[in-house]
Amino acid sequence: RTLYLNGAWLPESEAKVSVFDRGFLMADGIYEVTCVLDGKLVDYAGHAARLQRSAQELGMALPLTEAELLAVHREIVARNALDQGLIYLQLTRGVAERDFVYPPAGTPPTLVMFTQAKNVLENAAAEAGIRVALLPDLRWGRRDIKTVQLLYPCMAKMEAKARGADDAWLVEDGFVTEGSAATSHIVTAEGVLVTRDLSHALLPGITRASVLELAAAHDVRVEERAFTPDEARAAREAFITSATNFVVPVVAIDGATVGDGKPGALTRDLRRFYIETRR
Ligand code: PDD
């Protein structure tokens, strides 16, 4: 792979960052993941805007203009001849002596981008659906910022797998927040798509926003509100959304079958609409 590192294009074996990088020492960094389909960026505007917002919330400076950022995204696709897959962008506050105080203004940030080839259109999870385990949401209180503090999501996913599930849905104060790396949605017995309203409790999913637009365009009733684990277990359908998976059905929650245990009809429609409108 050819990576982007602070303005340079390097083979992955030569792309190195300092052991004093604040991303490594403090998890003082943010990231974005953008999907590539047929060599084209999917929902790029949303991901670029969320990156800007994450940086702003943490007082971090983006080292590239909007136009440069787009150009680098396009160039990394071209240099890696990426037809289907993902672009990861990692931005940290840069290299500085270890200190809880931020480094002085003007310290150059570290910006890394790399690609991952992946068949995003066809995969077993999209066909068969996934099983999720409910686990407590023990992450920090600003989950609306896409930071590289991913240890708890890793722990939750490991625990979910240990329980025989594929992934976790996280629960706080009696309500589902989101998945370990995806937005959680349910469809009620009345056919209403329910997804949690945005707040500091969850990441404002870019795929979530696109899917809500598609649902509205197809006259699906949508309620943006928190839902409980009981409501999720009793739902007709459940699914997750993310840049890495688009729309993926959830067929079991904590061992309880969702609907008839097969991917729901609305879920399958939304996945199809999403792919059709992004190609
Ligand atoms: N994860 N919630 C969390 C906690 C996430 O990490 C993600 C994305 C989402 C979905 O957001 P979007 O639709 O914008 O991808 C929701 C990325 C893909 C990841 O960490 O790999």
Of ligand 1's listed atoms, the one at least distance from the Cα of 209 is 13
pLDDT digits (tens, 9 = 90+) for 14-45: 999 999 999 999 999 999 999 999 999 999 99
Q: Which CATH class is domain 124-278?
A: alpha beta
The CATH label, of 3.90.1150.10, 3.30.70.60, 3.30.470.10, 3.30.360.10, for the domain at 2-117 is: 3.30.470.10
Cβ of 183 less than 6 Å from ligand 1: yes
pLDDT at 219: 98
Mean pLDDT, the chain, as a whole number?
98
Look at residues 213, 215, 205, 211 and name the one whose alpha carbon lies nearest to residue 182.
205
pLDDT tier, 109 (very low <50, low <70, confident <90, very high otherwise): very high
pLDDT digits (tens, 9 = 90+) for 184-212: 999 999 999 999 999 999 999 999 999 99
Residue reference for tokens 């060599």: 39
Q: How far apart are CA 274 and CA 250, in angstroms?
A: 17
Q: How far does residue 106's CA lie from ligand 1's centre (Å)?
A: 30
Q: Is 182 helix (H, G, I), strand (E, B) or coil?
A: coil
* In the predicted structure, residue 123 carries a pLDDT above the cut 90: no
Number of H helices, E strands in the chain: 8, 15
> Could you tell me if 37 and 278 are in contact, meaning their C-beta atoms sit under 8 angstroms apart?
yes
Q: Could you give the percent of the chain with pLDDT greater than 90?
A: 99
pLDDT digits (tens, 9 = 90+) for 46-88: 999 999 999 999 999 999 999 999 999 999 999 999 999 999 9
Spell out the residues 6+ positions from residue 205 whose beta carbon is closer than 8 angstroms to its own: 178, 182, 183, 241, 242
* Domain ranges, ordered by start, for the chain: 2-117, 124-278
Q: Is there a catalytic annotation at residue 146? A: yes
